[in-house]
A and B are shown apart, each in its own frame.
Chain A
Amino acid sequence: MQKQRPKHLDLAKIRLPIPGIVSILHRISGVALFFSLPLLIYLLHGTLSSAEAFDAYRAVVSHPLMKLVLIGLLWAFMHHFCAGIRFLFLDVHKGLELQTARATAKSVIVISLALTVILGVVLW
């Protein structure tokens, strides 16, 4: 017999568990990094340019709006990095238990945010 179950495909009604949040943020941060690839290569380019060009590069990077973008990208990298390492462990069947998985998901969010803040403050 077919049961009538409530269907909540309404995004506003879906409550993701913490591992689910980490997973979707992994995707979102991945997309952000994908679109920023040229910017990231440009940033590397700037650090390697000649002394005169380096000053111009410094002016670009120290623009407040640019700093905001860079902080965002720093978080994207940190989250993608930490969540990625967690996924690699899950792939080899480490930390699959519900409690552990929830705990590691929580630590991924906390650690990547903490690293973003710390590095952000240091580099600002």
Chain B
Amino acid sequence: MVNRIVVGAHYGLRDWVLQRVTAVIMAIYTFALVLFLLAMPSSYEGWKAFFGQTWVQVLTQTTLLAVFMHAWVGIRDLWMDYIKPVGVRLTLHVLTLVWLVSCVIYSIKVVWGL
């Protein structure tokens, strides 16, 4: 028997959790980055050396992915709240995804110095 529930509670719970988890990741990254910046000598060379380390690049890229997933849930919620015509909403969803995927690609180039 196919037991597929298409209405009711818990629909969208995964997105709700994703938005909170990514928020916590970004908050931790922000606090950590501020602490490192305060501890570091404020110079161009110091910053470049700091950001040249692989672990900094990895954590930055991970956090940026969290940013994009967070933005996806948030912006999609806005379209669902304010845009009623299905066609327009679908178009906006697609444009949002294209925008965010482009940002992911650009961020990869910048973070890894490609």
Contact = CB atoms under 8 A, between A and B. Distances in A.
Contacts of A19: none
Given A54-B44, A81-B30, A44 B74 contact: no
Given A54-B44, A84-B23, A91-B20, A31 B110 contact: no
B103 A38 contact: yes
B28 to A, nearest CB: 12
Interface in B5-51: 20, 23-24, 27, 30, 44, 47-48, 51
B71 interface: yes
B43 to A, nearest CB: 12
Of the four ranges (under 10, 10 to 19, 20 to 34, 35 or more), the interface on chain B belongs to 20 to 34
B20 A88 contact: yes
Nearest to B102: A38
Nearest to A35: B99
Contacts of B47: 47-48
Contacts of A42: 110
A34 B110 contact: no
Contact of B106 (A41, A48, A91): A41
Contact of B110 (A27, A33, A48, A88): A48
A38 B30 contact: no
A34 B23 contact: no
A47 B71 CA distance: 24
B107 A88 contact: no
The interface centre, meaning the residue of A31, A51, A84, A88 with most chain B CB atoms within 10 A of its CB, is: A84
Contact of B24 (A33, A37, A88): A88
Contacts of B30: 81
A44 B102 CA distance: 16
A88 B75 CA distance: 18
A95 interface: no
B87 interface: no
A72 interface: no
A42 B103 CA distance: 10
Nearest to B68: A37
A1 B56 CA distance: 64
A85 interface: yes
